[in-house]
């Protein structure tokens, strides 16, 4: 492992995922826990120059005025997760990292998210150029104050409503002109992405928000030599779909319908209970089955908000399929997972892998990270095993050629 002072900047820092990342990093630093659940801790990555998560310093933006101790304590009490002695042991580090979090921006993130905001002027309309400049000031101040040698930005904020692209989003020159005007042309998630990429920082979008999935922002990443990964972490029902659908292909069973019913009780679920936010999530969840099968069966997906479940999400899926001699059969599964605990290690993996790629001189989209996402940018492959093969191949190539020239 490599030891460098590394900054991890989370957009949506105090959310369930952000707070679990914070507790996880603090617990790793204190040697209270191990790297179980980190993909980058697999033997495959032995001898890769990945950064030690114990060296990470955390900062970020949020639109709610709170702190890590309060958020982690709330998860502990409501969802009955995390050991209380670990919370106590990590308190000092969590307090230090809370002081690195700055008020964020949500002017163009839709009404449901604006209603969460209680810090600074998060939801007040402001020129996009001013927002980008303030985000960059916050990032640079974090880097300098903590004497960081490198940093990555990961978006873990609430799901914004879908944002349709127009011709202006396909040209960086035109988008730059538009952003310096007074009209809103990008959602907040893309302003954060812009700020990070423009500083040449690796950027990962763990959410269904638009973020850097804008052709003009890819141009910016190439210009500034920054790497991009996204979109929407694959942690639960969609992960299982991408693992199970290849089975139906391999056995030549025809899937007639695949019904997915998701129930979730945390703040993410509350935001997704708003139709315009939910439709953005359903878009990233809906592609996987047809892409893997090569045809489109009936694939209804629903997401219900059930507050009593808190951070525990349940998915029930029914797969109805046709076997030999037209005999119809079915498979059902129930998945019960702790939302934040499934996501947090992947955020650490993605930060480590994005920093590794950036350090090697790679630029733009990182296709080998497709297995981490529901809607991988720049990759049409959804079969988990084929996606994982991309990652394995990347690691093998990396061990044979330490750096990329560009």
Ligand X SMILES: NC(=O)c1ccc[n+]([C@@H]2O[C@H](COP(=O)([O-])OP(=O)(O)OC[C@H]3O[C@@H](n4cnc5c(N)ncnc54)[C@H](O)[C@@H]3O)[C@@H](O)[C@H]2O)c1
Question: Which residues of the chain form contacts with ligand X (CB under 6 A)?
Answer: 11-12, 14-18, 61-64, 104-106, 109, 113, 116, 156-159, 188, 206-207, 232-233, 235-236, 266-268, 339-340, 342-343
128-145 and 188-198 helices cross at what angle (nearest 10)? 50
Output 237 or 383, the one with its CB closest to ligand X: 237
C-beta of 210: minimal distance to ligand X in Å? 12
Output 87 or 195, the one with its CB closest to ligand X: 195
| Distance, CA of 234 to chain centre | 9
C-beta of 142: minimal distance to ligand X in Å? 15
Residue with tokens 């609430």, as numbered in its chain: 158
Asked if residue 312 lies in contact with residue 341, where contact means CB atoms within 8 angstroms, the answer is no
Side-chain-side CA neighbours of 197 within 13 Å: the count stands at 30
| Distance, CA of 405 to chain centre | 28
Instruction: Read off φ and ψ for residue 197, nearest 5 degrees.
Output: -65, -40
Q: What is the DSSP string of 234-299?
A: --SHHHHHHHHHHHHHHTTPEEEEEEEEEEE-SHHHHHHTSHHHHHHHHHHHHSHHHHHHSS--B-
Residue nearest to ligand X (CB): 15
Output 268 or 349, the one with its CB closest to ligand X: 268
C-beta of 279: minimal distance to ligand X in Å? 13
C-beta of 37: minimal distance to ligand X in Å? 12
Output 277 or 398, the one with its CB closest to ligand X: 277
What are the residues facing 150 on neighbouring strands?
A: 6
C-beta of 67: minimal distance to ligand X in Å? 11
C-beta of 13: minimal distance to ligand X in Å? 7
Helices (H), 30-79: 68-79
Asked if residue 323 lies in contact with residue 253, where contact means CB atoms within 8 angstroms, the answer is yes
C-beta of 116: minimal distance to ligand X in Å? 5
Output 17 or 395, the one with its CB closest to ligand X: 17
Residue with tokens 């958020």, as numbered in its chain: 71
Output 363 or 376, the one with its CB closest to ligand X: 376
Output 120 or 297, the one with its CB closest to ligand X: 120
Other beta carbons within 10 angstroms of residue 49's beta carbon come to 14
Output 156 or 350, the one with its CB closest to ligand X: 156
C-beta of 166: minimal distance to ligand X in Å? 21
Asked if residue 224 lies in contact with residue 247, where contact means CB atoms within 8 angstroms, the answer is no
């Amino acid at each position: 492992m490599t030891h460098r002072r590394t900054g991890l900047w989370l957009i949506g820092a105090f959310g369930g995922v952000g707070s679990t990342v914070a507790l996880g990093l603090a617990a790793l630093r204190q040697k209270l826990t191990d790297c179980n659940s980190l993909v980058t801790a697999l033997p495959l990555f032995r001898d890769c120059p990945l950064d030690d998560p114990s060296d990470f310093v955390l900062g970020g933006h949020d639109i709610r005025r709170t702190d890590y101790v309060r958020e982690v304590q709330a998860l502990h009490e409501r969802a009955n997760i995390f050991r209380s002695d670990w919370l106590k042991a990590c308190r000092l580090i969590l307090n230090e990292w809370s002081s690195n979090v700055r008020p964020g921006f949500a002017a163009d993130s839709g009404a449901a998210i604006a209603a969460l905001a209680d810090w600074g002027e998060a939801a007040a309309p402001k020129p996009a150029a001013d927002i980008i400049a303030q985000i960059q000031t916050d990032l640079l101040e974090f880097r300098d104050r903590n004497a960081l040698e490198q940093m990555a930005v990961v978006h873990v904020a609430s799901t914004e409503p879908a944002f349709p692209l127009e011709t202006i989003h396909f040209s960086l020159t035109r988008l730059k002109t538009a952003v310096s005007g007074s009209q809103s042309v990008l959602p907040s998630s893309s302003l954060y992405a812009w700020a990070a990429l423009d500083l040449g920082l690796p950027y990962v979008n763990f959410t269904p928000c638009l973020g850097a999935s804008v052709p003009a922002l890819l141009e910016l990443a190439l210009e500034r030599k920054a790497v991009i990964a996204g979109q929407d972490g694959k942690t639960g029902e969609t992960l299982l779909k991408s693992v199970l659908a290849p089975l139906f292909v391999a056995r030549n069973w025809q899937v007639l319908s695949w019904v997915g019913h998701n129930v979730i009780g945390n703040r993410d679920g509350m935001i997704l209970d708003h139709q315009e936010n939910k439709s953005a999530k359903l878009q990233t969840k809906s592609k996987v089955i047809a892409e893997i099968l090569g045809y489109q069966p009936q694939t209804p997906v629903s997401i219900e908000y059930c507050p009593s479940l808190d951070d525990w999400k349940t998915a029930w899926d029914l797969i109805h399929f046709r076997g030999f001699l037209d005999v119809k059969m079915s498979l059902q599964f129930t998945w019960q997972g702790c939302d934040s605990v499934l996501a947090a290690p992947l955020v650490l993996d993605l930060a480590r892998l994005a920093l590794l790629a950036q350090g090697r001189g790679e630029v733009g989209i990182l296709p080998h990270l497709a297995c981490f996402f529901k809607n991988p940018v720049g990759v049409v492959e959804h079969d988990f095993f084929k996606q994982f093969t991309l990652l394995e191949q990347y690691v093998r190539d990396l061990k044979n050629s330490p750096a990329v020239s560009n």
